[in-house]
Each structure stands twice: as structure tokens, then as C-alpha cells.
Amino acid sequence: MDQREMYQEINALIGSIAKALNLPEADVVAALEKGEITLDFGEDENNHRFVAVTHDGRQSRIYQGAIRHAPEEPGQEEAPKSGGGCGCGGGH
């Protein structure tokens, strides 16, 4: 991967993080630089790989084409933010 491709991939990841956290991209960059956002790689029970994002106690998973949020309350299921439905959990 050349530097230009890597730059495009990083820009896409920043955009996905901003969408997952509902923050402007500039705020995401600043928070990453301050260590306020942590990133990790993971694989779910279906062997799908994701980037785990943690910020202010909130956790999200960024998959190729979808963002899933960790439940905020016990018993609440993860809801996709993109890549299928509106993310409200209403099944539409």
C-alpha cells in the first residue's frame, strides 16, 4: 500500500469514527491526538472483523459498511447506525 492509499484509508476511518461518535471530524482528530479515543481491532462471534472505538465510556464497532453501538442499558441490543435501517431499533 503506498502512502496515498494509506492516507485515503485513514481519512475513511476518521469519517467512520466521526459518524459512530456523532462528532465533527476535526473533533475526532483532536480527541485521537489527546488519547481520548481508543481504537482496537476485533473479531465478532461470526468471524467478522471490526475496529472497536471507545470514547467517554461509549463503545462502537466499525465494520465494513456498518457501525454497531454497544448497548447503553442492560438488555438493550446493539443497533446498526448504518448499513441497514435507521439505527433506532424499530426494525425499519
Residue 22 DSSP label: T
Residue 3 has φ and ψ, to the nearest 5°, of: -60, -35
Kindly state the average pLDDT of the residues 34-39: 96
More confident residue, 41 or 74: 41
CA distance 5 to 60: 25
- Tally DSSP H helices, then E strands, for the chain: 2, 5
Q: How far apart are the two ends of the chain, measured CA to CA in Å? A: 39
Rounded percentage of the chain residues whose pLDDT exceeds 90 = 61
CA distance 32 to 12: 15
Residues 4-28 have pLDDT tens digits of 888 999 999 999 999 999 999 999 9
Q: How confident is the model at residue 72 (pLDDT cuts 50, 70, 90)?
A: low
